[in-house]
């Protein structure tokens, strides 16, 4: 895989930990790019346990949320696991309002996410 530009990928044991490089994920081209980088993790690299750490993210557009929902579907198709962590309260509120808290497993921090996966 080409070096990701929108995400940083680290390994913690058998878990792939993804952090976002951008604090605001709103630009359509950037969303397509980070979406493809995420999809490659499960489709090309066959990663089975993924934690998305949102610690750097201050704002997500609705299109970015849509891309995350699509990624969750791909993860499930590949029989992989996905946990989200470090979501700021103002972003978590959007997840709660849109009922995405029912779709995604969300932990307070990366350590909790790693313990749960």
Q: Where are the domains of the chain?
A: 7-116
Q: What's the helix, strand, coil split of the chain in %, to 5?
A: 45, 25, 30
User: For residue 31, is it left (φ>0), alpha (ψ between -120 and 50) or beta?
Assistant: alpha
pLDDT higher than threshold 90 for residue 67 = yes
pLDDT mean over 23-42: 94
User: Domain 7-116 has what CATH class?
Assistant: alpha beta
- pLDDT digits 0-9 by tens, 5-15: 899 999 999 99
């Amino acid at each position: 895989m080409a070096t990701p530009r929108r995400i940083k990928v680290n390994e913690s044991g058998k878990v792939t930990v993804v952090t976002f490089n951008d604090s605001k994920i709103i630009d359509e081209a950037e969303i397509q790019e980070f979406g493809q980088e995420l999809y490659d993790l499960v489709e090309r690299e066959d990663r089975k346990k993924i934690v998305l750490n949102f610690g750097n993210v201050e704002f997500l557009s609705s299109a970015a949320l849509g891309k995350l929902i699509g990624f969750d579907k791909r993860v499930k198709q590949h029989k992989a696991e996905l946990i989200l962590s470090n979501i700021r309260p103002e972003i978590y509120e959007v997840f709660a309002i849109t009922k995405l808290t029912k779709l995604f497993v969300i932990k307070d921090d990366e350590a909790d996410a790693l313990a749960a996966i």
